Structures are given as C-alpha cells and as structure tokens.
Amino acid sequence: MTVPRSTLRLQFHRGFTFDDAARHVEYFAALGISHLYTSPITTAEPGSMHGYDTVDYTQVSPECGGEAGLKRLADKLHAHNMGLIVDVVPNHMGVGGSSNAWWLDILEWGRHSAYARHFDVDWHSPDPALRGKVLAPALGAPYGEELAAGRIALQFAADTGRFHIGYGPHVFPVCPIDYASILQSAERADLTALAERFQGLTTQPTDQPRAAEGRARLREFAAQPGASAIEIALETYAPEDPVTRDRLHRLIERQHFRLAWWRTASDEVNWRRFFDIATLAGVRVERPEVFEAVHALIFRLYQEGVVDGLRIDHIDGLAEPREYCQRLRQRLTELRDTAPYVVVEKILGRDEPLRDDWPVDGTTGYDFMNDMGALLHDPAGAEPLAATWAELTGRSACFADEALAARRKILTENLCAELDRATRALHRIARDSLTTRDFTFTSLRRVLTELVVHFPVYRIYPQNGLRSATDNVYFEQALAGAKETLSRADHVVLERVNAWLGGSAEEVPNARGGTAQQQGQNGTPPIHAGSARRTAQTLFSQLSAPLAAKAIEDTACYRYGRLLSRNEVGSDPGDFALSVEQFHAGNLQRAQRFPHAMLATATHDHKRGEDVRARLAVLSEIAHDWNATLRAWSTLNTPHRRALDGAPISSVSKDASYDWAPGPAAEAMLYQTLAGCWPPALSPDDEAGVKDLAGRVAQWQLKALRETKLQTNWLTPDEAYEAGCRDFLFDILAPQRRDGFLRELSGFVARIDRAGALNSLQQTVLRLASPGIPDLYQGTELWDFSLVDPDNRRPVDFAKREAWLVQTPPSEFLPSWRDGRVKLAVVQRVLALRAHLPELLSQSTYLPLTVSGKHAAQVIAFARRHGNAWAVVIASRLATGLLGDDGDLPLVDPAKWDDTALEMPADLAGRALFDWLSPAAPKVDENGLLFLRDALGGMPVAVLVEDGVPRA
C-alpha cells in the first residue's frame, strides 16, 4: 500500500478544473504534500460546485476537465512522486434535473426499467396513487395550480425521438406505450403510420428494443418536414385549453411517476433520499451489479494507476457498510499488487470506535477535529458561558435538550416518510406472528420514534441479524430513553421491536402456525423472518443516520450558542473540553488501531474555519469577560433591532421570544461569529473591507437562521424577519458606527487574536505530528477565517502562497504573524520533517510526556520515537493568562514559564535538541528535564529533534 505522507483536499468544479490544479503541482510538492485528495470526479449535475450530485458514474466530469484532464493531473503528480486520492459517492445520485440516464429510465419504464433495482424505491407503496410509481416532488406549487398555469407541458425532443413531460429544467419521460395515442391524437395519416410502431407495446424488457426502434424512426421523421406534424400532436395536449389540459392530465396519470409539489416529499416520498434532499436518490450499492456499475470507472482508473486511493463519502448511508468495505478492498486488491488506501467519512460519537471488521485505513478525520477542537477549550468556561446563554436567550443551557427537540422536529416534519417506511417493515414482521399480530402500525410508530430520537450515535451495524456488544452500548441508551417517554402500555411493543432490531435471534412463528420462512399471508410470497428483520434493521439505520445528521449538525448546532467553536461537524457541543490526558488517549488509540487515518481540522463541510474556531475557543478562558462584553454589545445595538415585519424599533422587551429581529439567540450568535471571523489586519476604518466582511457574514446569517427552523426555515422562509436580521447586521457594521460598535468589536478582537493565533499554531503542529495522515484543506495553510459553505469554498490564491513559500524558519515570520506566513511556514517545515524522516512521524511509538512546574496545565507535549530517532512536540495551550496584555506576539514571554519543564525520556537526558521551527537548541539537563523557557523561547510551538538530524 502506498500510504500518503500528507494530503491536500481540493474542490473541483467548472471554475477550478484538473488543469488548474496541475498548474500548482510544483507548489503542492514544495509544501510537502504527498497526495492530492479530490472532491468527486464523476459527472455531476451541470454547474455543480461540489460534485456530490453524481448523474453519471461512468464518466469523469467534463466540466472539471474530463478523463484526459484528470490523467494530465495524475501524470504531473506522479512526475513529482505524488499521488491522487479521489472522493467516491456510492450512496446517492443527483436526480433533480434531466441528466441522470438511470433515473430517467426508471421514470420511463417503471418497475421494468433496467435500473429499477439500482435505486431504493418502494414499488409497493401503501398509497394506491404511488403503487408502481416514483414520487417526483419537483413542482414549485401544488400540481393543479401548475397544470392550470400551463407550466407543465407535453414536449418532444427531436434529437432523441422521445416525448416527455417538461417542467422548467425538469424532464419526465413519457412511457413509449403511450406514444401511439399521442401520435394518433393529431389524426394525420403520417403520424398514424408512425403510431403503428408503438401499438401493443408493453413495458416488458423484451419489448423495450422495439420502442427504441420506434424512437429512431421518430427522430428521422422529425429531422424531415415532419416536425410540424408532431407539433400538431402536442397541441392536442396543450395545457391552456381545459379539454386538452384534461387529456394531458390523464396522460401524466398513466406514467410511472407522480408529479407533485416539492413539499410532499417529506410526507410521501417512496424512495430513499440523501438526508431530506429530494434531488438526491439513494443507490442500492449493496447489490453486486449496482456495486460494479457504480465503481467501474474508479476501478479502471485505479487499475491504470491514475488513482492511488479512495475516500468513501457517507458510509453510514449504505445498507451494509461492513460488507461494502470488504467487497471494495477485495476488488481493489485484485486490480493492483499493492494494498489500496481507503478512508471513510464517518461521524463517531465520543468513545465510539470505528469498527475493526471494516477493512479500511481509518476515517477522514472528523474524530481528530473534534478532539483537537475540544483540547483548545478551558473547561472552567463551560458553566458560566452556558448560564449566560440561557439567561440571555431563554433557551436551555444544555445542548442535549436542544438535540432532543431538534430530533423530534426533523423526524415529524422532514423525515416522516422514512419513519413510516421503517414502521411498515416492523408492522409486516408483527403481522406474521400470532403473538404480535395485534401490534398496531401506530403503536410501532410511537416506539420507533422514541428509539430514534434517543439514539446517541448515527447507527447500528448488525451482523447476521444480531447487534454486536458495541451496538448494544448505544441501543441500550436509546431503550432507556424510550422507556422513560413511552407509556407502560407500549413497553411490550418496545421489547419486541428491540428483538427485531437485532436484540434476539428468536424465530417468530407466523399466523398460520409455521414460520414466516415457510409461508406468507394473504397470498403474498413467503417472507423469510431473517430477511424481514434485516430489512427492518437496514431501514432503522437509514433513518437514524440522517436524523442524527439533520437534527444535530443542521439544526441543533444552529440553535445552541454557548460557544460556537464547539458547534462543528463531528462534534457534540455538549462535550465542551478535552483534557490533555484524554487527547493523548485518543492519539494512542489511533496509533494502535488506525495509524493511517486522516487528521483534519478543516473540511469542505466545516461550519467555521479552523482559525475562527481557534480564536473563539479563547472565550472559554475569559468567560466572564465575554459574558460582560456580550451584554454590553447587546445594549449598544438595541436601537438597531427590527420588528418582525422589518420596520425599525427603538426598544423592545428583553424576553426569550422572537418578537424582534434578529432575536436574542441569533444576535448572541452573530456577535460570536463577528468576533471569530474578523480578519486580523482589518481596521474599522477600512470601509470596503468591512463591507466585504458584512456580505460574507450576511450569507452565513441567512443560512444559520433557516437551519434553526424556528422563526424561519428553508421550506417556508419568513422573508420579512430575514430582511430585518440582515438590516440589523448591516446597521451595526455601517461606516458611521466606526467609532461605536465597530471600534468595540475590533478592539475586542485585538484582545483575543494573539491567543487565537497561538491556538491555531497549536492545532496546526499537533495535527501535523500526531499519529495519522495530516490532511490540509485548500487554502488553510494561511489563516482560515472562513464561514460555512459557500464561504469556505471561495477561490484560493495559490500563487500568493507559492510566492510566500521560502526555506526560512517559521520563527522569522512570528513578528508579522497577522499575515499568516508563520502558519504556512510551520506547515511546510513539519511536512519537510515527515518527508526527511518518514517513519519518525508515521510508524513510530507515541509517548505522552509529563509536564511539571508552575504552568504545567498550559503545555501539551509528546514524543515520537522510531529506532534511535526522536521527535519531541511541544505546544503552549490555554495561554491567554500567560500572554497578558503586554507585547504583540502570540508567544509567552520565556521568563513567565518559570520552573515549568518536560520530564523527558531517559534516553534523551543530557542531550541537545534542535527545533525544526526556530533556531533554538534547548538542552535536556542531566535529570531529564527540558525547561519550557528554553524550548519555547522563539515560538509558541516546537518540534525538537536530536542533535545531528539535518534540518530542511
């Protein structure tokens, strides 16, 4: 296996192509990157800026440069001894436009489509209007309104010879069995002759080639003067006239799709979506033929050596993640001699392990990002910050309360169709047993609701229908929560559902005295009890995972504002801080179990840039000062608040309601955001700079307000409230406020920005030197004060970074730290060490180091050892108090460290060490102590190596 030394994530789209990346390969190599790590490379919806809405797995995205462009990039990387890791999206495809041939074929042929089993469609919906059909929730208004308005029309594509229902950019193919009636409606001999080619046609696969022949003849006819004749046929279905509109409606009703208002999706969608997004359809990659079709291009590129490793997106959406990983590794191993490098995007709860039976190299790094972020926080700040948040907003001080409420809201408003489908699976099992046949659908739905809202992690992973001991740790927590909230009458149902969802291997007898394996009911095919249970378990997991994502990441994290630096993807905002000992324990576990997992502190999905979070973490150290500042700013800006209709108001009651814009919670979060993302060099007098910042924050604010799903949301936005919030933001940042709030804001940032920069350097060096593969998100080698997407996906000035890349110790750039060059230099130097001594920071022993002395709590240190080679990594932490108000550097005065020292390994006693980040050469005394005043004299972080190791 070619294990990456370090990775750099790039976001490809039509504005940044493979050739654009190729122009910067020399820079990436000089920075020390061993592998580029790309966003999805398969063809996505036209104009996609992220690539996760794949419409064609068989082709490299033409907008990004196509296969030729990808190979040019790979060739250039290989010429620099670099590799390529690509993001693979096996869980879902984009179905929101007219570009997905697989999906269009399903709409055209229904259950007899060659791709009918490629997607997770429930063809046996209990709704008669959806049996054998696919819900198409694409309409902007109710179906009847859109039909009457003439926005739904029968159209003909001359280039394909197909009739389709057109709606804006959407195309819904008409089944060819209706072509005859369409052509005959014009009552023309030439069209009637063409209609004969479609007479007696069925949807059976054996008839579909005849339809293709008929379409070919239609194409020929349309290419000749026959196009006008087809227009006459279309006019007989024109939506403008009541009679022809009724004919159009009846035609639409006969199709294999049901056109519907987009709002129907949450309640009635009969196919698996990605989360609650009705333009992304779940793919049944657990089926062997689908697996091969989805991965054929990737496998070929891997076999050809173009691709060197894979990142698997949203592994928890798959029916069987374990089996998927096993099959993937087996296929990749068959294609090349070397073992493949594979990591999975997996959100882990605190202390939740990545499963050992998944043959992967680890996660994409959210778990490390969580640990690293929590390490930056002072636990003493948790309680006062939570108390002030609750007092100012009237919301709970406990994140778990927000999470539970959000889970209930998402389940009942966004994922109710998925809840119903999982309940039906359980109901079918119940009906096949004499002892449970009286369990009603409603009681099972109540029980399932309580289980999933109390489920503490994303999902379970049963094997052979049974939960593992690890699964039971989390399932028991859900059971306990469900028992507390359900009535005692439902406990017997809960007990049985527990068994069906993997708690018991008991075979359940059915209503006819045999087993469900032996016979079915009401003339239906026999149902194997084990198969029925596995279906229910899969549907449970494919409900609990999106519920966790939507409720926690996309709802509760936007409602709870104790400290926004802990509201991040993969993090639990209720899990405020992490001790040094806990951080070491996490690193030791990674070193032992998944030594090649990615280590990330920024991703394309992060809600706040890594340096925004690092600066906001400082507030945990000065909680009381921040609480006072928050109140002062709130008072100062009261005159700028708006009524909910957007009108200015001069004063309002300070209660917990949303009777003014932005409201207490949104306003408190806004102040944190401004303090976190204010650029280090921005002056309040810089009118253009402040305006640019206001525009970026307004973009974040709109998304944040809608994600809370309280006063406004994505489904039914309250535009007056949103406008009032935007006006408030622009008012408080207006140029005339430069001597008021703007001066207060920039002054406060100036108080905390040194400590924030110190935090940033700490997390940078720990990510680069901890066990695992450090991952760098595009552009974050300089300060990253971005907000949630699309802000964190703005174009990167790689030319500037390349010009600033010099062979100079990072300490030389510390005096000008605000420009970010010191961070860039740290990245370059530590990656150079990883290249010079690759085993030292990858295959070495991890040794936590004990710190003693006056300020031992303000230091974290560990050693890495490989053979006789040593590296000692040291970082200042929670250092706001030590920095004080003196000076302008993010560096503790060496004298302030007093007697603080590291207790070094015996092998290093009396040895001289050299710092990879500064000219310092501290010496370990004969007692094995290394004093911080010597080790951290020129930088707040150090990477020390033994005397004699050449430095880059």
Same domain? 305 vs 244? no
Spatial separation of the C-alpha atoms in residues 397 and 866, rounded to whole Å: 47
Residue where a domain terminates, one of 683, 718, 750: 750
How far apart, in Å, are the Cα atoms of 85 and each of 10, 30, 58, 305? 10, 19, 18, 11
Task: Determine the structural domain holding residue 148 and report its residue range.
Answer: 101-278
Q: How many residues does the chain have?
A: 952
Other Cβ atoms closer than 10 A to 415: 24
The reported pLDDT for the residue numbered 647 is 77
CA dihedral 556, 558, 562, 563 (to 10 degrees): 120
Residue where a domain terminates, one of 221, 244, 278: 278
Cβ–Cβ < 8 Å for 808, 771: no
Cβ–Cβ < 8 Å for 834, 941: no
SS (H, E, C) 242-268: HHHHHHHHHHHHCCCEEEEEHHHHHHH
Cβ–Cβ < 8 Å for 342, 325: yes
Cβ–Cβ < 8 Å for 276, 550: yes
Same domain? 822 vs 902? yes
Residue where a domain terminates, one of 750, 779, 814: 750
The reported pLDDT for the residue numbered 655 is 40
Residues 6+ apart with CB under 8 A from 799: none
Spatial separation of the C-alpha atoms in residues 753 and 620, rounded to whole Å: 14
Query: What pLDDT digit, counting tens, does each position of 616-633 carry?
Result: 999 999 999 999 999 999
Same domain? 460 vs 544? yes
Q: Provide the number of structural domains found in the chain.
A: 5
Same domain? 521 vs 469? yes
What are 349's two structure tokens?
A: 């709860």
Q: Which residues in the chain show pLDDT less than 50?
A: 508-527, 651-657, 947-952
408 in any annotated domain: yes
CATH number for the domain spanning 329: value is 3.20.20.80
Cβ–Cβ < 8 Å for 756, 618: yes
Give the closest residue to 402 by CA, choosing from 546, 266, 561, 545.
561
Same domain? 183 vs 219? yes
Spatial separation of the C-alpha atoms in residues 750 and 894, rounded to whole Å: 22
169 in any annotated domain: yes
Give the closest residue to 917 by CA, choosing from 951, 883, 890, 942.
942
Other Cβ atoms closer than 10 A to 212: 10
The reported pLDDT for the residue numbered 4 is 97
CATH number for the domain spanning 812: value is 2.60.40.1180
The sign of the dihedral angle between the CA atoms of 87, 93, 99, 102 is positive
Same domain? 437 vs 544? yes
The reported pLDDT for the residue numbered 282 is 98
The reported pLDDT for the residue numbered 162 is 96
The reported pLDDT for the residue numbered 442 is 98
Write out the E strands in 292-340: 309-312
Spatial separation of the C-alpha atoms in residues 425 and 462, rounded to whole Å: 16
How far apart, in Å, are the Cα atoms of 297 and each of 64, 86, 204, 285, 326? 16, 12, 29, 15, 19
Cβ–Cβ < 8 Å for 578, 454: no
Q: Are strands 309-312 and 341-344 parallel, antiparallel or unpaired?
A: parallel
What are 453's two structure tokens?
A: 């809202």
Give the closest residue to 279 by CA, choosing from 148, 420, 170.
170
How far apart, in Å, are the Cα atoms of 838 and each of 326, 833, 865? 29, 7, 12
Same domain? 169 vs 262? yes
Whole-model pTM: value is 0.94
The reported pLDDT for the residue numbered 885 is 86
Same domain? 122 vs 266? yes
CATH number for the domain spanning 229: value is 3.30.1590.10
783 in any annotated domain: no
Same domain? 549 vs 402? yes
Cα within 13 Å of Cα(267), Cβ side: 6
951 in any annotated domain: no
Collapsed DSSP state (helix, strand, coil) of residue 54: strand
For residue 172, the cross-strand partners are 165
Spatial separation of the C-alpha atoms in residues 492 and 609, rounded to whole Å: 48
Could you identify the residue written with the tokens 């949104």? 666
For residue 44, the cross-strand partners are 54
Spatial separation of the C-alpha atoms in residues 701 and 722, rounded to whole Å: 9
785 in any annotated domain: no
Could you identify the residue written with the tokens 């490793």? 309
How far apart, in Å, are the Cα atoms of 898 and each of 532, 851, 854, 881? 67, 13, 7, 14
Backbone torsions φ then ψ of 828, nearest 5 degrees: -60, -45
Spatial separation of the C-alpha atoms in residues 744 and 918, rounded to whole Å: 35
Same domain? 233 vs 267? yes
The region, left, alpha or beta by phi > 0 then psi within -120 to 50, assigned to residue 904 is beta
385 in any annotated domain: no
Spatial separation of the C-alpha atoms in residues 654 and 665, rounded to whole Å: 11
What are 862's two structure tokens?
A: 């560990």
Residues 6+ apart with CB under 8 A from 556: 399, 402, 403, 405, 406, 573
779 in any annotated domain: no
What are 271's two structure tokens?
A: 């196919």
756 in any annotated domain: no
Spatial separation of the C-alpha atoms in residues 892 and 939, rounded to whole Å: 9
Cβ–Cβ < 8 Å for 934, 925: no
Which spans in 394-440 are helix H? Answer: 399-413, 416-431
Same domain? 454 vs 505? yes
For residue 598, the cross-strand partners are 773
Other Cβ atoms closer than 10 A to 480: 10
The reported pLDDT for the residue numbered 946 is 84
Same domain? 260 vs 208? yes
